[in-house]
Amino acid sequence: DTAVSQTPKYLVTQMGNDKSIKCEQNLGHDTMYWYKQDSKKFLKIMFSYNNKELIINETVPNRFSPKSPDKAHLNLHINSLELGDSAVYFCASSHLGQVHEAFFGQGTRLTVV
């Protein structure tokens, strides 16, 4: 059983389109994250979300929005895709608090053409 799963694994789309990436975790964690990994391999946090609070990285354009239907899911919606959005997006989850390891999904490679 996959602990953190993302779909799709690859996503190729045209500029201007709207797309979603889904993330599900079956670990019973209460905090989930989205990270963007660019071509230089930097892992930048986009959002962290638990039952009570959504923390948004202020550098993330508002074209990106997380949607959490329940504790086990945190989907990423992207509107009006731009070339610069091309990257690998990772979902991760952990228990709430500062001493717990994060488990990552396998990543979604988004290519905007």
Cβ closer to another protein: 16 or 42? 42
Give min distance, CB of 18 to another protein, in A: 25
Binding site for another protein (CB under 8 A): 31, 33, 35, 41-45, 48, 50, 55, 90, 92, 94, 96-107
CA–CA dist 46, 36 (Å, integer)? 7
Helix (H, G, I), strand (E, B) or coil at 85: helix
Cβ closer to another protein: 86 or 103? 103
Cβ closer to another protein: 15 or 55? 55
CA–CA dist 94, 113 (Å, integer)? 33
Give min distance, CB of 76 to another protein, in A: 16
Closest of 52, 103, 61 to residue 79, by C-alpha: 61
Give min distance, CB of 27 to another protein, in A: 12
Q: What is the DSSP-derived secondary structure letter of residue 32?
A: E
Cβ closer to another protein: 28 or 41? 41
CA angle at 93 for the pair 92 and 98, rounded to the nearest 5°: 115
